[in-house]
Chains A and B, each alone.
Chain A
Amino acid sequence: MAKIRCPECGHVEETTGLLTVCPNCKADLRGVMEELGHRRERLREVARDDSVTTHEFIVRTKDLHKVYQMGEVEVPALKGVDLNIRRGEYLSIMGPSGSGKSTLFNMVGGLDKPTKGTCFIEEVDMAQLDAFELAWLRCRKIGYIFQTFNLIPVMTAIENVTLPMIFAGMSSDEMMERGAMLLDLVGLGDRLHHKPYELSGGQQQRVAVARSLANNPAIILADEPTGNLDLQTGKEIIDLLKELNEESGVTIISATHDLKMIDVSDRVVHIRDGQVERIENRADLDLEVGSMGAE
């Protein structure tokens, strides 16, 4: 399902792509539908998970522990997290502030090392990877989205989006073309050469979403992507992520305490005090058959 807006009367309708006239004003919607088709086609391409080995679980954590050392004091942030994340699912990690969401995000994304336990990406033990392999993984397999956007302040939108492509060794022309395409996809086709400070928070986060797609990731990791956004803008980012997940099958793992996220998630993992409290399936939530672990 996708939302379309009638260009004549502004009526918004949910459709699967078969609508030809606006149910409100009877205006011709074929142009709009064609646009939608193109968009879906592009979404399908940008984050295609091309893994040769298709393990059921794209991410697995086993007895994950993380203890931060604060001077004399030891702060346990994760206390044995076991989590199996399916390929292509939209997984939300919910929990109050300080429950260990970001810590888990860092472990799964290969941004920090666990104190104990293991984290597998496609059954590869991340602890076994050397610096070059880890950098490759971060560059190609995973796209990161942060609460604070983390764009490079001196670079324009397109420069930010193409930076991971530089690290991947892509040629300059290819890079600019793909960068422009990605920014267009997130609705910033007319903001290619704006610096982050010239963009609103929502727009900056869209740039970050485009950047996360730079090298066709199999996984998008988002740490409270709506945390710094107002309600409406946050909703737009969530819709964008959901759209990506549905069309391209990219696995989305998102830490959040935004309840809007529940609606779009296939599963919701509730964590508290560094432990998994319970896991909710979307199927249990609304009995929608077949949407669980889609793809």
Chain B
Amino acid sequence: MIKSELAKTIYKSETDWGQVQKQITLSWADAARISYRNVIMRLGRALITGAGIVLGIAFLVSVWTAKVAQEGIQAYEAQSATAVTGEAAELAPGAEEAELERRAQEARQTWLVVMSLLVSAVGITNSMLMSVTERFREIGTMKCLGALDNFIVKMFLIESAVLGMLGSLIGALLGHGVMLLVFVVKNSSVVALMDWGQMLSYIGFALIIGTVLSLMAAIPPAMRAARMPPAAALATEV
């Protein structure tokens, strides 16, 4: 019968069944396979966790998009003003007020960026934290079944990195797209006036922030759960 052969092959590697041996360490590939399955099968949950990241990053990127667009328009207007008067901008009447107005706007924008950074930090941390703590029981179960601590950590490292990157990417595109649309409606030539190099670096920066925040939120609780005795992880109520 198949089963007896199966049983034999399983035993083959265990020459001394009586001796306690060391558990094998699973590769990153194994961890990635299980993580992938986890994310795919938990898609609903992943989408909710991801939504926290998407919204936070979308807010941040929309603020930065507005900043770049506005600066582009202002630079253009300043240029045309200079062109019209043919003089240096500072000599134009009302230049002092314009300067004050520009400073006030800069302060507003800094405030918005700081706020949006905070919002994304809180949103991402919260959703990642939730997604780890609700799985303490699962972590305990996996340890009962023979998972090593570092496997648990690897799994969460991969999951939170993937979730953080994808969420940030979607959020960045969303925030950028929506804000750009708002500006295009107001002033159709804004696309030509924007500093795209700066815009891209802001988007890149937002992706890094989103991913790093996800990792920072997920890894410490995952490590804590992985190091707990399985009984404690199993008994944790969420």
- The chain A residues found within 8 Å of chain B, CB to CB, are 38, 41-42, 45-46, 48, 50-54, 106, 109, 111-113, 122, 124, 129-133, 135-141, 144, 146, 150-155, 159, 163-164, 166-170, 174, 177-178, 181, 211, 214-216
Kindly state the separation between the CA atoms of A135 and B18 in the bound complex, as whole angstroms: 15
Q: Which residues, 101 to 158 on B, are CB-close (under 8 Å) to A?
A: 137-138, 140-149, 151
* Interchain CB contact under 8 A, A167 and B149: no
Closest to B27 in A: A169
Q: Which residue of B lies closest to A195 (CB)?
A: B41
Q: Which 7 A-B residue pairings sit nearest by Cβ, starting from the closest? A: A139-B146, A167-B146, A52-B18, A53-B18, A135-B23, A112-B231, A154-B41
Q: Given the complex, which residues of A lie within 8 Å of B234, measured CB to CB? A: 111, 146, 150
Chain A, residue nearest B38 (CB): A154
The answer, among A46, A130, A139, for a CB contact under 8 Å with B145, is A139
CB distance from A81 to the nearest CB of B (A): 16
* Stretch from B8-16, B177-185, B189-197, B206-214 contacting the other chain: B8-16
Report chain B residues within 8 Å CB of A153: 138
* A129 neighbours in B (Cβ, 8 Å): 20
Contact of B22 (CB < 8 Å), options: A38, A133, A216: A133
Interface of B is mostly: helix
Annotate B1-42 by CB proximity to A: 1 below 8 A, 0 otherwise: 111101101110010111111111010001000100110011
Q: A52-B16, A111-B230, A111-B231 are in contact. Are A211 and B21 (CB under 8 A)?
A: no
Contact status of A211 and B145, CB under 8 A, knowing A52-B16, A111-B230, A111-B234: yes
| Distance in angstroms between the alpha carbons of A129 and B143 in the assembled complex | 15
Say yes or no: A169 contacts B24, CB within 8 Å: yes
Task: List B residues at the A interface (Cβ < 8 Å).
Answer: 1-4, 6-7, 9-11, 14, 16-24, 26, 30, 34, 37-38, 41-42, 137-138, 140-149, 151, 229-232, 234
Would A166 and B30 count as touching, CB distance under 8 A?
yes
Q: Are A124 and B20 in contact (CB under 8 A)?
A: yes
CA distance A133 to B1 in the complex (A): 33
Assembly CA distance A230 to B94 (angstroms):
85
Distance, CA A194 to CA B104, complexed state (A): 61
Smallest Cβ distance from B69 to chain A, in angstroms?
43
A193–chain B nearest beta-carbon distance, Å: 12
Please, how many angstroms separate the alpha-carbon atoms of A211 and B142 in the complex?
12
Return A183 CB to nearest CB of chain B, in Å.
13
Known A-B contacts A50-B11, A132-B148; A111 and B22 likewise in contact (beta carbons under 8 Å): no
Identify which of A51, A113, A130, A178 contacts B6 (C-beta below 8 A). A178
Q: List 10 A-B contacts (CB under 8 A).
A: A41-B3, A42-B3, A51-B18, A132-B23, A133-B23, A135-B23, A152-B142, A170-B10, A177-B2, A216-B11
- Cα distance A130–B231 in the bound complex, in angstroms: 17
Query: Does A135 contact B146, Cβ atoms closer than 8 Å?
Result: yes
B20/A163 in contact, CB under 8 A: no
Contacts of B6 in A (CB 8 A): 45, 174, 177-178, 181
Complex Cα distance, B140 from A138, in Å, reads 12
Give the complex CA separation of A211 and B9 in angstroms: 19
Residues of A within 8 A of B146 (CB): 135-136, 138-140, 164, 167-168, 215
